[in-house]
Amino acid sequence: MISQTSALLHFWRTENPISKLFRTVLLTSSRSQTQHMKWTPRRKLTTGVELPSSVDVVVIGGGVMGCFTLYHLARLGCSSLLLERHKLTSGTTWHTNGLLWRIRPGEIDTALLNATRNTILQLEEDGPAGWTGNGGLFIASNKLRLEEYARLYTIGQASGVECQLLSPHEVKDLYPLMNVEDVVGALHSPGDGVLDPSMLCYKLTQDAQKMGAKICEGVEVTGLEIEENQFGGHKVKKAITNFGSISTQAVVNCTGEDWDIRGLFHGCGFNSSGMMLSGGCSEQLAHWIVYGRSSIDMAAYDCRRFPKSAQGWRTWCKERSHEAYTSNYAIVFPNNQPLASRSMITDPLFETLTNSGCFWEESFGWERPAFFTANTPAPLLPYDWNGAFGNERHENYLYRDILKQGHTFDMPSYYEQIKDEYLAIREKAAIINQSSVGKISLSGRDAEGAIDWLFMDNINRNRRTISSSLVLNDKGGIEANVTVFTLDDNSKFEYEGKSSYLLQCDSGKEPYIRRLLRDVCQDKNLSINLHSLTNSLSSLLLLGPVSHNILQYIGIDALNVLKNTFSTFELKNTTVRLSRHSNETWEFHVARENLLNIYNYLMECGAEYGLRNAGYRALSIFQLENGVPTCHKDIRGDDTPLEAGLMTIESLTYNPRNFSGKRALLNQATHGINKIRIILESKCPFICGNEGIIRDGKLVGLTRKADHSFERDASIAVGYANIQNTSFENAKLSLQKSNWEIERMGKRYPARIYESP
């Protein structure tokens, strides 16, 4: 499986001129002297190259990704130019094995693979493109690997990919030369094949040139000229080469647009999967450039998801790249965690919670509590490189041992600890360190207009109130789920400055969402200021039916804090902001330096009420049971709130306010939705997502999020079912009359529509 971490950060690590260019690109503005990066070419280049003065898009690099990108841009009508410092395919492309699969452990990755294959088959219609469709055979020599292939089989069926699970005898019939004595089964995908990279790139560039694209070999890009706009943002202006400069609106170096510079995209670092993913990723990249967004949810490939500080994580880049490469063919387990370069971003509770038995999980660099062992510390240790390069492998590593308990597709044994935390949330009280939750201050001249445009729901402008809303793209797709705190001067911390609003989002998502909001506002010429407060503002979540008693004990009258409001209090000579999200859910905001003192005080006061630590795994199950959606899982950029059941046609029609995506939603309300978000309950064995959704005997979709419900003692899964164009309300009525099943590893189990409590 490709590591998205490695896919993004490969270009920060490698020591070639292009990587140096993008790592050290200098910014310019209309007020400053133009600057750009220069270096000495490796060899003397040919002369006589004629470059255009301007193009829409400059593509750097003549490998398979560059050639695919040029082709897709040309198809969309862009004037585009490919620059290659040597000859086409002279990099890693020429020696690739050219494998092309059709199935991977995820819906999006599978869609990208098949987009590559579809493009190649189209190319082959009027000439050879180097394709040999000889099929693929994935061999399992143990039960666990075969279970993974059974999951891939379901993904393939739901994605329209022809595939079969084979017994050892059937493998022998298909491939008589194979010794099957140690084979327990296999997955056969007859549509897989291999590619000749040179023939493919030749065909791509030939067809792109017929559509008006240009190619220049022997041209080295030595820098970029970046301009600063009126809002302080940065955008590509020119590409600088050893033969002159080219004015352009975008440069492509396909993990997504650059985190800070608009118009600078990256199509590199695919961890040995560039050939098979390049067609799909380049197609999405072209859509991104031309239409402002991809046509499917590419959040896992978007480099805006990483904090800007990641540019300096050299150790992290090296260790993660090594781990990703060495585990390229490892079984992909749910909730697996890396061992390389951990503890990158922590908070003041890190040591205290580690000593209390915290098992940590990472979210884009942040360490957050997953669950707690029986008070047995399982500290994170430095990466041992699996004993390679003269490093000694850790012989005794409790964290790794606990992690391996999750290397199964059945319920891991550590779910007993998660159950205890879940029961504390349901029956007593639990505290969760949520300091990794993203926090952004919003202020500026057009802050009120930005609030109106950015958010689907009406945001309460009354001070000290809390609102929750979705952020939509122009197609009505869901990009983010954000909680908005409306502040006043008496409810702000000093470092929150002039902010009018505090925005809160999922753990690790703050860099992505902040840049998303910035870009949307710049496109509307809205002048706002967005500042990250995640590192300076910590938060604790207090949950459970006896949480009121704990608040009373520490001197806070819970009845004075209404639902969806917040107040400020003094605890232990420390100012805290306390918000109430429900009758049993409270959140403390506290300055980072005071987090440990407030945590210790709450734990001390809550001891007699059974207050205990809990982690995100128990919280996730609690939210799943209550129908709370999760961004980029059961709600994504290619799902609308009408499809997800998070908006009614009436609320849309009678909302006089204009907001991003509203026009697309009105159009969808007129023509109807063609898929619907559903929650299923089944007594099937443990499930974890990517299972098949069966309606009246037909496979109609995949589960996106699934887990075990301790309340129902059953599996609960969220996914989408394909339907004919109709309204959500009509579709929901018809769904109640259907017979439902969940397909797990090729076997089907009865299910029913789940109703949240």
List per-block mean pLDDT (blocks of 10 residues) for the chain, which spans 757 residues. 30 33 33 35 48 94 92 96 90 81 93 95 95 96 97 95 97 96 97 94 96 94 86 86 94 65 78 83 90 87 79 86 91 94 95 98 94 93 95 96 97 97 97 96 94 95 94 94 92 86 92 91 92 95 95 86 88 90 91 96 96 97 94 93 93 92 95 94 96 96 96 96 85 89 96 85
- The pLDDT assigned to 179 comes to 96
Whether the Cβ atoms of residue 598 and residue 609 lie closer than 8 Å to each other:
no
Whole-angstrom Cα distance, residue 269 to residue 286? 18
Whole-angstrom Cα distance, residue 174 to residue 499? 66
Backbone angles phi, psi at 332, to 5 degrees: -90, 105
- List CB contacts of 690: < 8 A, sequence separation 6 or more: 105, 106, 107, 151, 154, 155, 702, 703, 704
Residue 59's DSSP bridge partners are 82, 252
Whether the Cβ atoms of residue 223 and residue 36 lie closer than 8 Å to each other:
yes
The CATH class given to the 621-753 domain equals mainly beta
Tokens of 34: 């133009």
What's the gap between Cα 292 and its chain centre? 18
- The pLDDT assigned to 277 comes to 87
- The pLDDT assigned to 259 comes to 60
Specify the amino acid at residue 383.
Answer: Y
Alpha helices by DSSP H, listed for 524-615, are 547-553, 595-606
Specify the amino acid at residue 353.
Answer: L
Tokens of 350: 């890190």
Q: Determine the CATH number of domain 101-195.
A: 3.30.9.10
Question: Global pTM?
Answer: 0.88
- The pLDDT assigned to 292 comes to 85
Residue 140's DSSP bridge partners are 185
Whole-angstrom Cα distance, residue 615 to residue 146? 32
Picking from 516, 732, 487, 536, the residue whose alpha carbon sits closest to that of residue 631 is 516
Whole-angstrom Cα distance, residue 49 to residue 464? 63
Q: Determine the CATH number of domain 437-533.
A: 3.30.70.1400
- List CB contacts of 618: < 8 A, sequence separation 6 or more: 371, 418, 419, 421, 422, 424, 425, 430
- The pLDDT assigned to 757 comes to 64
If DSSP states are collapsed to H, E and C, what string results for 431-466? Answer: EEECCCEEEEEEECCCHHHHHHHHECCCCCCCCCEE
**Cα separations (Å) of 567 from 62, 365, 465, 715?**
58, 31, 9, 38
234-241 and 244-252 strand pairing: antiparallel
Whether the Cβ atoms of residue 6 and residue 271 lie closer than 8 Å to each other:
yes
Dihedral through CA 143, CA 149, CA 150, CA 151, nearest 10? 120
* 4-43+51-97+197-306 under CATH 3.50.50.60, yes or no: yes
What is the per-residue DSSP string for 49-83? ----SEEEEEEE--SHHHHHHHHHHHHTT--EEEE
Whole-angstrom Cα distance, residue 252 to residue 264? 6
**Cα separations (Å) of 137 from 100, 118, 330?**
12, 20, 17
Whole-angstrom Cα distance, residue 125 to residue 127? 6
In this structure, the number of other CB atoms found within 10 A of the CB of residue 279 comes to: 30
- The pLDDT assigned to 50 comes to 86
Whole-angstrom Cα distance, residue 407 to residue 333? 6
Whole-angstrom Cα distance, residue 263 to residue 531? 22
Sequence length of the chain is 757
- The pLDDT assigned to 687 comes to 97
Whole-angstrom Cα distance, residue 239 to residue 22? 12
In the chain, what are the domain boundaries?
4-43+51-97+197-306, 101-195, 314-413, 437-533, 621-753
Whole-angstrom Cα distance, residue 223 to residue 25? 7
